[in-house]
């Protein structure tokens, strides 16, 4: 099991962009799939690898809601995943199933059974050579292979590299430690009298000043990354919603923040390592022919601001 991803998906996210994207993909990362899904025919079988909580299967189901087409989309993921429930089902013709603890290097499907193999920011996390071989095995002759992958110079990579640099800083651990010291120094806070007591408490005031200084340092270092990594949101939650929590609950929350930072580091490190640069991509594409795959289209996806979002690859299996 892929525990840092399982932990993430169990929080109910729809995509891997977490709080930065509350619903499913929008814009280019949604629109690019429309012509792909439009090519499907009656009783299709689609496989989405590295599916997460099923963002692409949900896009497919919504995208085909205006046509009378029946089919099935199966999302597989190495982690423990559950279909995101943020999107309502307006298309009963499409059956979605998710399979957890399933790697795309070894798919539980019969050979020559799949019409369309898809992935959005999932395939590149796997052993890409083995996964390509496996994709060819499960695809029908003339089956389609369409993946959107991380680009090593995309705005997604740049943003996440900045977050990684920030959460590696000593100030992050010091800040989390200070929250622990604060929880203990405050003791249980149950009413306004306790709040006044804390305000007058010298030790609490010292720790609060220390926390403010650490936040200022992190914000000065990289304000956007400080917001993006959710640490500021957690600190605000500790002092607002969390103020009246018992000490034990506050300490549990601090443990939760530590785990969030650790797993974020693991996920982002994987993301940076998974991204394709031109050399890695060329080596990968060179394997297509020996895998009975022909490359139909390769392009760089960009948003409206002309920023790079990722690579788009479209291949098909030849006989």
Ligand X SMILES: C[S@@+](CC[C@H](N)C(=O)[O-])C[C@H]1O[C@@H](n2cnc3c(N)ncnc32)[C@H](O)[C@@H]1O
Chain residues in the site for ligand X (CB under 6 A): 2, 5, 15-16, 49-52, 55-56, 76-79, 103-105, 120-122, 125-126
- The answer to whether 270 touches 289, Cβ cutoff 8 Å, is no
- Shortest Cβ distance from residue 314 to ligand X (Å)? 17
Give least dist CB 281 to ligand X, A: 18
Residue 237 or 263: which CB sits closer to ligand X? 263
Q: Give the whole-angstrom CA distance, residue 128 versus residue 154.
A: 20
C-beta of 106: minimal distance to ligand X in Å? 9
4 or 302: CB nearest ligand X = 4
Task: Supply the minimum distance, in Å, between the C-beta of residue 319 and ligand X.
Answer: 27
Q: Which of 5, 59, 61, 3 is nearest to 274 (CA)?
A: 5
Distance CA 267, CA 124 (A): 13
* DSSP helix, strand, coil percent of the chain (3-state; round to 5): 50, 20, 35
Q: How far is the CB of 46 from ligand X (least distance, A)?
A: 13
Nearest to 173 by CA among 205, 129, 135, 214: 214
Report how far apart, in Å, the C-alpha atoms of 229 and of each of 44, 155, 182, 282 are.
39, 16, 22, 33
Q: Supply the DSSP string of 22-71, one letter for each residue.
A: SSS--THHHHTTHHHHHT--TTEEEEEES-TTTHHHHHHHHHTTTS---E
Q: Considering beta carbons, is residue 124 or 171 the nearer one to ligand X?
A: 124
Q: In the complex with ligand X, which residue's Cβ is closer, 55 or 154?
A: 55
How many whole angstroms separate alpha carbon 120 and alpha carbon 108? 20
What lies within 8 Å, CB to CB, of 177 at 6+ separation is: none
Select 118 or 198, whichever has its Cβ closest to ligand X: 118
The distance of closest approach from Cβ of residue 88 to ligand X in the complex, given in angstroms and rounded to an integer, is: 19
CB closer to ligand X out of 103 and 250: 103
């Amino acid at each position: 099991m892929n525990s840092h991803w399982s932990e993430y998906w169990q929080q109910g996210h729809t995509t891997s962009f977490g709080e930065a994207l509350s619903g499913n993909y929008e814009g280019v990362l949604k629109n690019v799939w429309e012509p792909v899904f439009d090519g499907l025919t009656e009783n299709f079988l689609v496989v989405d690898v590295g599916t997460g909580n099923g963002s692409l299967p949900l896009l497919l189901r919504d995208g085909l809601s205006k046509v009378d087409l029946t089919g099935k989309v199966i999302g597989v993921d190495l982690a423990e995943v559950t279909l995101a429930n943020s999107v309502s089902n307006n298309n009963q013709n499409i059956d979605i199933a998710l399979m957890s603890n399933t790697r795309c290097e070894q798919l539980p499907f019969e050979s020559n059974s799949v019409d369309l193999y898809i992935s959005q920011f999932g395939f590149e996390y796997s052993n890409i050579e083995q996964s390509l071989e496996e994709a060819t095995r499960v695809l029908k002759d003339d089956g389609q292979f369409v993946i959107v992958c991380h680009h090593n110079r995309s705005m997604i990579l740049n943003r996440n590299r900045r977050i990684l640099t920030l959460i590696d800083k000593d100030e992050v651990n010091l800040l989390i430690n200070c929250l622990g010291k604060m929880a203990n120094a405050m003791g249980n806070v149950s009413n306004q009298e306790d709040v006044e007591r804390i305000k007058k408490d010298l030790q609490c005031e010292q720790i609060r000043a220390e926390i403010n200084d650490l936040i200022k340092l992190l914000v000065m270092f990289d304000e956007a990354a400080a917001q993006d990594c959710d640490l500021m949101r957690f600190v605000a939650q500790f002092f607002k919603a969390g103020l009246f929590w018992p000490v034990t609950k506050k300490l549990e929350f601090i443990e939760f923040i530590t785990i969030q930072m650790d797993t974020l580091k693991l996920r982002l490190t994987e993301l940076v390592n998974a991204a394709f640069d031109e050399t890695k991509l060329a080596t990968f594409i060179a394997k297509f022919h020996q895998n009975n795959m022909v490359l139909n289209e390769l392009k760089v996806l960009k948003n409206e601001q002309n920023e790079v979002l990722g690579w788009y690859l479209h291949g098909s299996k030849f006989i």
